[in-house]
Amino acid sequence: MTAIRSNRRAAIACLLALTFAGAIASQASAASPAEVLLQGEASQKNARRPASDEDRRLRDERAAMVRTQIAARGVRNDAVLATMARVPRHEFVPTAELRWAYEDGPLPIGHGQTISQPYIVAFMTEILRVEPNDRVLEVGTGSGYQVAILAELAKEVVSIEIIKPLAQSAAKRLERLGYRNITVLDGDGYFGWESAAPYDAIVVTAAATHVPPPLVAQLKPGGRMAIPVGDTAWTQNLLLIEKDKEGKLTTRNLIPVRFVPLTRER
């Protein structure tokens, strides 16, 4: 899930064809009901992990990650930088990948999925402009790292993962780490989760062929959505979609990216 170079003109032309194709494409019948694996509770105070013993080497590696990989590339939001420095990425990677937990790149987490490059996690979080009273939706829980970052910035976060073993392990991990404002669901994230809508911000952590209309519908007026869109890894672009107070949408093409495809219910 790392940023890549691509032909900008070709990418933009592709996006014009893809972005809202879902509005006219055949929409699958209603998804199976999502299963709640971890029930969070909204709180006026951001969630904080309980204090735990941690190797100083890991803290130093995390600090270096923030300094050299994230801040050096232009992420400036103090709250985002502080959260990236606080959340232990090594808790969200498989044991076999621990030595690379703070390296500059994505890592495999099983089932053909990855934990995103730290910079991309920080960049997507920053562009969402999450506020302490926000309710946020994440599509693609994966290991739970992105939702953990969001949970320390927002009032409440809902995260949906279609691959059940990943959803189950993420729910257990987040509960163990003391997060109380995260709800984890096993289900098809294309349809979002209407029960908790509308959302102040939505982030999709896998590449869709088009922007899912149900997610647009669940975005609150004044809300922001970050989503990678593209048919293949070589034509993906990260979009920022904003809905104004009247419900009008504005879409900006920010950077070329490479994400795993958005998995759908079969």
**3-state DSSP call for residue 156?**
strand
Report the alpha-carbon distance of residue 7 to residue 236 in Å, rounded. Answer: 11
159 CB neighbour count, 10 Å cutoff: 32
Q: Catalytic one among 116, 143, 159, 169? A: 116
Closest of 176, 143, 141 to residue 160, by C-alpha: 141
DSSP-assigned states of every residue in 195-229: GG--EEEEEE-SBBSS--HHHHHHEEEEEEEEEEE
116 catalytic? Reply is yes
Of the listed ranges 7-16, 94-103, 123-132, 257-266, the least confidently predicted one is: 7-16
For the chain, strand residue ranges (E) read 35-38, 107-110, 113-115, 135-139, 156-161, 182-186, 199-204, 219-229, 237-243, 249-256
Split at pLDDT 50, 70, 90, the class of 16 is very low
The predicted model gives 228-243 an average pLDDT of 90
Report the alpha-carbon distance of residue 39 to residue 175 in Å, rounded. Answer: 10
Q: What is the pLDDT of residues 136-145, one digit of tens each?
A: 999 999 999 9
CA 140 to chain centre: 7
Q: Which amino acid is at 212?
A: P
Listed by start position, the domains of the chain span: 8-52+130-256
119 CB neighbour count, 10 Å cutoff: 23
Tally of CA atoms within 13 A in the half-sphere of 87 that contains its CB: 28
What mean pLDDT, rounded, does the chain reach?
88
Q: Give the pLDDT of residue 14.
A: 47
86 CB neighbour count, 10 Å cutoff: 15
Q: Give the pLDDT of residue 233.
A: 65
Architecture category of domain 8-52+130-256 in CATH:
3-Layer(aba) Sandwich (3.40)
Of the listed ranges 101-115, 118-132, 154-168, 220-234, the least confidently predicted one is: 220-234
